[in-house]
Amino acid sequence: MKRKKIWVLGAVFCTALQLLSCGKKQTAGEEKIHVGVTYYNQSDTFLNQLIACFRESLEEMEGEDSQITLTVRDAAGSQRTQDDQVKELLDAGSNVLCVNLVDRADPSEIIDLARESGVPIIFFNREPVAGDMMQWDGLYYVGADAKQSGVMQGELAAEAIKENGSIDRNKDGKIQYVVLEGEPGHQDAIIRTENAVDTLKANGIALEKLECGIANWNRAQAQNRMMQMVSQYQNKIELVLANNDDMALGASDAYEKLNYTESVLPVIFGIDGTDVGLLAVAEEKLSGTVYNDKEGQAQAMARLSLALVSGRGMEEIEFENDRYVYLNYSKITMDNIGDYLKQDEE
């Protein structure tokens, strides 16, 4: 008898719970999350991998109580095109937008459109200037701290130079270096360069800058710039600091194309840890890179997308300055490349 009572009580309790969760489920059940993404250019290696990770994160998060659709548009390097894409994504019913700006200084049109529709925007990878982020409180940013990546690249290079005296090939006590820089105006270009160079100097490395070439994050452009530099400086270049892996690989391609033997190759450092970048570290084409945590960024974008639409889970997200999420970089050399290659296979 007693047992039955407990059972009955239990049943009542369960029904109450069920009702509660039903109540929740009703709204949740109807929860349709339409994520609209537009990114600056589909030729970008890092961004393609980041968006692939984002797709995976969203798929993992899709559950009984949420249906997620993802629409991705390539702005092909035109801000005008991107503005139109945002309009189209909103018309098609996106209830959260993820925008990788073409021109990070020109988000006003997009912000106006989103605000009119009441649809929040998560900017990612190309950080709007602080003033624009204040235009509306439905704006967020997910990315990484450019300075940290520059410092880490400088540390990697300094460690290598201290460990290996033969990097200073002409034995003049200075390291002759060139820089391959990303797009002008991108937060990750100049800041990475400055901090890498400052960190080398702070570590007591005497430097001589030969040249800084802009290659817009692009492997082929970097190869061209590097070919020019090599023809100008011959065997003088001892270190290449590239703002990303694709440009570091472009530098390596240039030397390969010119059939330079290993004894006259400079050490080359990248940033990103893209699949091709990691492979190049494993093959010792690059002496090191700095991991740009695309999985972490993708996960943060997915969680934030869900939280913004459902109104749940915002408190679990770690914001800086209320609306920014920055993921940490990490250093990669031959010594720990195995961890990253494995991580990638998983």
Pick what 44 binds: Ca ion, ligand BGC, none; C-beta below 5 to 8 Å, kind-dependent: ligand BGC
CA distance 128 to 140: 10
CA distance 337 to 285: 13
The residue (of 255 and 291) whose beta carbon lies closer to ligand BGC is 291
CA distance 309 to 138: 11
CB 151 to Ca ion: min, Å: 23
CB 154 to ligand BGC: min, Å: 16
Q: Is 326 in the site for ligand BGC (CB under 6 A)?
A: no
Stretch that binds Ca ion, among 62-70, 88-96, 167-175, 224-232 (CB under 5 A): 167-175
Q: Is 217 in the site for ligand BGC (CB under 6 A)?
A: yes
CB 243 to ligand BGC: min, Å: 7
Q: Is 164 in the site for Ca ion (CB under 5 A)?
A: no
Asked if residue 96 lies in contact with residue 33, where contact means CB atoms within 8 angstroms, the answer is yes
Between the two ends of the chain, the Cα-to-Cα distance in Å is 54
Question: Of the candidates 51, 98, 126, 326, which one interacts with ligand BGC according to CB under 6 A?
Answer: 126
**Residue from 138, 125, 122 nearest 35 by CA:** 122
Question: Of the candidates 272, 278, 325, 326, which one interacts with ligand BGC according to CB under 6 A?
Answer: 272
Separation in Å, CA 338 to CA 40, 230, 252: 32, 32, 22
- HSE, side-chain direction, 13 A CA sphere, residue 284: 4
Q: Is 172 in the site for Ca ion (CB under 5 A)?
A: yes
CA distance 238 to 255: 13
Give the three-state DSSP class for 170: coil
Give the three-state DSSP class for 101: coil
Question: Of the candidates 188, 253, 293, 295, which one interacts with ligand BGC according to CB under 6 A?
Answer: 188
Residues 240-259 that bind ligand BGC (CB under 6 A): 244
Number of helices (H), then strands (E), in the chain? 12, 12
Q: Is 44 in the site for ligand BGC (CB under 6 A)?
A: yes
CB 247 to ligand BGC: min, Å: 8
The residue (of 175 and 332) whose beta carbon lies closer to ligand BGC is 332
Q: What token pair was written down for 210?
A: 């030969």
Binding interface with Ca ion (CB under 5 A): 168, 170, 172, 174
Binding region for ligand BGC (CB under 6 A): 44, 46-47, 125-126, 186, 188, 217, 244, 271-272, 292
